[in-house]
Amino acid sequence: MSELPPTTSIRRWLVTTNHKDIGILYLITALFFLLFGGVLALLIRVQLWDPANQVLSGLAYNEAVTAHGLIMVFWFLSPFAFGFANYFVPLQIGADDLAFPRLNALSYWMYLFSGILLAVSFFQGGTLSAGWTMYAPLNVPMYTPSIGSTGAVLALFMFVVGVTASTVNFLTSIHHSRAEGMGIMDMPMFTWSMLATVWMMLFAFAALLAVGLLLASDRVLGSVYFSATEGGSLLWGHLFWFFGHPEVYIVFFPALGVMLELFQTFSGRRLVGRKWVIIAICLISVQSFLVWMHHMFLTTINLEIKTLMMATTIGISLPFDLVVFALIYTLMKGRIQFTTPFLFAFGALLLFILGGITGVFLGAIVLDYEFRGTYWVVAHFHYVMFGGATALFGGAYYWFPKITGKMYDEFLGKLHFVIFFVSFNMVYFSMFLGWETPRRVFEYNPEFQIFHQIGSIGAFVLGFSFFIMFYNFAKSYVSGPEAGENPWDYSRTAEWAVSSPPPLENWPNRPSYASGKLEFVKDYVPDGGPAVKADENGNAATDGGDTHSDHIRDYPYWDKHPSHASIWPFTLSLATGIMLLGLSGFNDSVAFEIGESLGSTAITVSNAAYPMLAVLGLLGLIFSGVKWGLEEFYAPPSEFAERWPFNGVEKVKLGMWFFMASDVILFGAFISAAVFIRYNAGWRTWEPLTESLPGLINTFVLLTSSFTVILALVAAHRNSRKGLLASLGTTILLGLTFLSIKMWEWHHEVFDRGVTLSQNAHGDPIQASIYYVTTGLHGVHVVGGMLIAGFLFYRAYHGAYLDDERPVEYFGLYWHFVDIVWVFLFPLFYLF
Amino acid sequence: MIHPITLQQGTDWQAQAEVFEEIFFVFLALGTLVGIVVVSYTLWNVYKYRDDGSEPDADFDAPVVGELPTGQGGPKAKKLFLSFGLSAIVVISLVVYAYGLLLYVEDGPDTGEEGDIEITVEGYQFGWEFLYPNGHSEMNELVVPADKRIDLTVTSRDVWHNFGSSDLRIKSDAIPGETSETWFSVSSDEVAAQGGEATFRVECFELCGSGHSAMKGQITVIPQDEWDEWYANTEGDSESASVEDADPASDTDTSRVTGAAIGGVGA
Ligand code: HEM
Ligand SMILES: [Cu+2]
Ligand SMILES: [Cu+2]
């Protein structure tokens, strides 16, 4: 642990783990990517000026379209929203910070470096050109051979890793750190929207992680998932849209939260039908996973399923209806103040209404048959997604005074809004008028040229309008008037109850809503023990204490000061970035000449730089990981907090549960992929590639190791160092046995029989890919488990975990999970 | 509003009565109406309840920082549910209505004894190959007779494409390893109106690589007798030019049928 340097020092920004600092980093980085994606958009618009125009080649145009989509959806919209979430969710729920501050820093750095990887991919022979939807098989090297294409896929993978960490962090924070008295229904609407967002992200991004891993495996290792004619293309469609549809709400919900917040603040009214809005938000989150095939109405899925998807699609538009009306009725009878933030939020509502109505058109299958792949879809989703983002810009104006302590310039803000709103509609409404133009096509029917020209003019004006905002913010930051604690007349949420900007640990004393409104209470801290809830006179309460204080007693360092700085999130992300950069060119620079057996494989390296980067990155990653593990970083849970519905669950354990829930989806997607392809190939035409005996032995080995992990925990609990070492050691040995048998099986049972990642002497090549990749993913989990177990063993040898056995318990949870997954894989690959 | 739609093979086809145009029109009319009502109602209220600097009403209960939302008897939600109910009815009836027409489109019109022509369309980087029942194949131009129902079986030999013609309102994914189906039919009136040869633009609607933009084709419809003559001269076995027994290439139960007819749909 190191001290946090002042904000003027560059080091501060590299080591900070404070949620407000990281929020600022997110916001600034996201705005940078807005510019990046915006420049690409302008390139597209220039090309569209004239159907005969060829500013960019066909390939370059596709790269621009792809990168524009990827950057705006992944590297701008969500991170921009998460900038606000980082800054304000802890403030709104009365927490000191997020649950896992270092993990939060890790998410940010993963995001930043993944974005840099994406930018670099332009210079690796051109970035990906398969569209942001990356349809298969255009996304495999046979059709998009550039190294940069692989680089972009790996960048996306890295981004998703950061997102997953962030998801777990927010879920744990919101469920574990709400101030006393703030029940889940009492949370401010922005926080509510973020909660729904991260719940959706937990599952949706796990599916994207899965599909990204499969694609990375196809591109880097050479498996053949997405080029397989046994349903490879449709597999991509299903997995991508299973993620993709929730994703559109994931980017929209934070903006919705801002709208809900701002409508109340600037009308002086409380949300109409609050409970129903919350219910609608929850409904949408669940339903969002049941509509994905409405993006695939034109594929070969059958009529019954299409009908079902049409029904669920229309079903999901109904709760949205309710939310929109709630927003409108909230304004009525209010005292509406037309400030810049309100104008943006209100503009967002209008745009969203238009986007929603055109969405209903798309939900009717017959219409979708014609709209699919045209500018109608492009216009629709810009109205909903970018329309939503409009509210986020409102949020930027709204919270600018809180973040900087300075007031923005109201006139410039309104000017920005007017220009923005007019040009927005020029760009996107013209798309409805010229909707018959196919999407991602620049040699379009000249009949529509006028619409595209209006759009192109609008785009430049739209781009320009943001410079008014940047100028406004820069000028106000330097010389704006002091904003004070609370510049708004009718704000309600807790961020307005502290200074602007808020102090490092947010609160003067412990925030509590126990009395029905926000108060700062001073707790009584007995000498040598954790805080105890105080009664009115500031003395220790005697009424039996607080059940939640167990959460803090579990932390043996309770008397330390919370930490706010660590360099390891930064180095870990940097190392990951370097490793992935190396992997992007791996397939092109390293060739394997496979001989009779694995042993006689000849390796030729044509470009040493890539493999060296990969190895360098891997070493840095392991080094940073170990240093992270050894660092003393103290982030205690809040002492008195609302934790429904996870009252009895300790913080890190809760985080583990969330993480494993996402891992379940990851494996679920891999297994579904295996089942889907096999079904398409004809289920019974496949035989297991290997004898069932090694698999059977391995099943026993793993199940036994699950048992020894429990023994380790028991030993730690009984303070028996020897017992702990013995059972941990046995677990490690069993894990290594599993891996050895696995290696032997891959080598002698499978490989020597002519089965490689892309070839199969006994049947469809895709079967070989599935076998290696799915059992390989499990193998990677086992290896990860072994590394952690080795680390625990080393620490235990030096006497750790006897008074605090929780790390052993968490490892146990993970290990059980890995074993359970095997129980599913075994029949799939060895028996049937 | 829902009219049983039948396709009459014959001379009295009505060119303007397309399924798509009809639904699109209904959706557009209702969508515009709902949009205008909601937006103007909202704008009017926002104007009406603006903060004009006057003293707040006596019952105006300003929120304060740090309050909790519950237990404050928030405003009643009756109106909310009324509007919600109304809009739900509009949306649901629209979709039910559209669904009725979907079933028609999925099945295709009854073609009577005239029979169909089965064409296999194969997308590739970057163009379309049309395969006729007699084994003849054409690149990028599909020549078919008027007044016939043309069934297309669409697939791809490399990446995912999407075969579509905006003029004909047909579209179908071309996916490697899969076949999907669509159909169309052009009346001889339409052909006559276009001067004895009706042409329709074909475009690719799914990004498929560097030549995607230029992946254009054409559907040419000519009178039956001219077509018979043309078809007889194509290489391949002209016996099987009698398309009655052309085999439907698809045997999968997952394939999809859709389409629309120019001028083929009347009341
Ligand atoms: C009223 C509710 C909505 C309905 C009924 C609806 C329906 C649809 C349908 C059926 C499609 C597929 C179009 C096609 O590719 O053929 C679509 C595309 C899309 N929608 Fe919506 N939508 C709704 C709201 C939203 C919202 C709220 C968002 C995001 C904030 C959104 C974002 C998108 C995006 C990004 C796509 C296109 C993805 C792509 O192909 O690249 N939609 N919508
Ligand atoms: Cu969707
Ligand atoms: Cu194409």
For B212, the closest of A136, A441, A517 (CB atoms) is: A441
CATH number of residue B151's parent domain: 2.60.40.420
Q: Is the CB of A294 under 6 A from ligand 1?
A: yes
Based on the fold, state whether residues B98 and B157 are members of the same structural domain: no
Q: What is the pLDDT along chain B (267 residues), one digit of tens a residue?
A: 333 333 334 333 333 336 788 889 999 999 999 999 999 999 999 999 999 888 888 778 888 999 988 644 455 678 888 888 988 898 888 888 888 878 777 766 655 545 578 999 999 999 999 999 988 999 999 999 998 888 899 999 999 999 999 888 889 999 999 999 888 888 888 899 989 899 999 999 999 999 999 999 999 999 999 999 999 888 654 444 444 444 444 333 333 444 444 443 332
Beta carbon of A250 within 6 Å of any ligand 1 atom: no
- One domain, residues B101 and B131: no
Same domain, B129 and B184: yes
- Residue B241 main-chain phi, psi, to 5 deg: -65, -20
**Is position B28 within any domain?**
yes
- B11 lies in some domain: no
Q: What is the CATH number of the domain that holds A716?
A: 1.20.120.80
Q: Clarify whether residues A404 and A485 are in a common domain.
A: yes
Contact A375, A354 (CB under 8 A): no
The answer to whether residue B24 is domain-embedded is yes
The count of domains in chain A is: 3
- Specify whether A830 is located in the same domain as A702: yes
Residue B239 resides in a domain: yes
Is the minimum CB–CB distance between A132 and chain B shorter than 8 Å?
A: no
Contact present, A583 and A154 (Cβ < 8 Å): yes
CATH of the domain at A186: 1.20.210.10
Contact A234 B178 (CB under 8 A): yes
Do A548 and A533 meet the contact criterion of CB atoms below 8 Å apart? no
Whether residue B185 lies inside any domain: the answer is: yes
Distance from the B196 Cα atom to the nearest Cα atom in chain A, whole angstroms:
23
Contact: B159, A138; criterion CB under 8 Å = yes
Same domain? For B147 and B245 the reply is yes
Q: Examine residue A285 and state whether it is found in any structural domain, yes or no.
A: no
CB < 8 Å to B83, chain A: 325
Q: Which two tokens stand for residue A424?
A: 């927005």
Span from the CA of A45 to the centroid of ligand 2 (angstroms): 25
Contacts for A462 with CB less than 8 Å, ≥ 6 apart: A419, A420, A423, A424, A426, A427
Q: Name the residue among B23, B169, B175 with its Cβ closest to that of A364.
A: B23
Same domain, B94 and B164: no
Residue A304 touches chain B, beta carbons under 8 Å = no
Are residues B121 and B165 located together in one domain of the fold?
yes
Indicate if B246 and B148 belong to the same structural domain: yes
Q: Is the CB of A628 under 6 A from ligand 1?
A: no
Do B44 and B147 reside in the same domain of the chain? no
B95 plus B160 within the same structural domain = no
Contact criterion met (CB < 8 Å) for B175 and A492: no
Amino acid at B39: V
Q: Which of the listed residues A503, A522, A544 is the one where a domain comes to its end?
A: A503
Give dist(CA A698, CA A724) in Å, integer.
Answer: 24
pLDDT at position A598: 64
* One domain, residues A240 and A199: yes
Please report the pLDDT score of residue A537 as a whole number. 53
Rounded to a whole number of angstroms, the distance from the CA of A497 to the nearest CA of chain B is: 7
Which residues crowd ion ligand 2, with CB under 5 Å? A 245
Same domain (yes/no): A14, A135: yes
Q: Same domain, yes or no, for B193 and B237?
A: yes
* DSSP letter for each residue of A659-712: HHHHHHHHHHHHHHHHHHHHHHH-GGG---SS-HHHHHHHHHHHHHHHHHHHHH
User: Which residue, chain included where needed, has tokens 């697939």?
Assistant: B155
Is there a single domain that holds both residue A470 and residue A548?
Answer: no
Ligand found nearest the CA of B174: 3
CA distance B205 to B227: 29
| H, E, C per residue of A189-237 | HHHHHHHHHHHHHHHHHHHHHHHHHHHHHHHHHCCCCCCCCCCHHHHHH
Query: Is residue B147 included in any domain, yes or no?
Result: yes
- A499 and A520 fall within a common domain: no
Yes or no, beta carbons of B176 and A229 under 8 Å apart: yes
* Domain presence at residue A532: yes
B33 and B91 belong to one structural domain: yes
Check whether residue A212 and residue A160 sit in a common domain: yes
ipTM summary value = 0.89
pLDDT at position A555 is 54
Q: Is residue A280 in some structural domain? A: no
Whether residue A649 is found in the same domain as residue A738: no
**Residues A355, A475: one domain?**
yes
Q: What is the pLDDT of residue A549?
A: 47
Quick one: A365 and A419 in the same domain? yes
Q: Which of B160, B168, B202 should be substituted to probe chain A, the one whose Cβ sees the most A Cβ atoms within 10 Å?
A: B160
Is the CB–ligand 1 distance for residue A374 below 6 Å? Answer: no
Strand partners, B121: B130, B154
Whether A106 maps to a domain, the answer reads yes
pLDDT at B187: 85
Q: Are residues A494 and A516 in the same domain?
A: no
Do B189 and B101 lie in one domain? The reply is no
Question: Does A575 contact ligand 1 (Cβ within 6 A)?
Answer: no
Query: What confidence score (pLDDT) does residue A516 get?
Result: 87
Number of compact structural domains in chain B: 2
Domain that holds residue A125: 1-265+511-566+633-666
Q: Are residues A81 and A126 in the same domain?
A: yes
Q: Which residues of chain A have pLDDT under 70?
A: 1-2, 524-560, 594-599
Q: Give Cβ neighbours of residue B171 (< 8 Å, ≥ 6 apart).
A: A298, A369, A370, A372, A373, B162, B163, B164, B165, B182, B205, B258
pLDDT at A149: 96
Q: Whose CA is nearest to atom 14 of ligand 1?
A: A372
Q: Which domain holds residue B157?
A: 112-261
The alpha carbon of residue A729 is apart from the nearest alpha carbon of chain B, in Å, by: 50
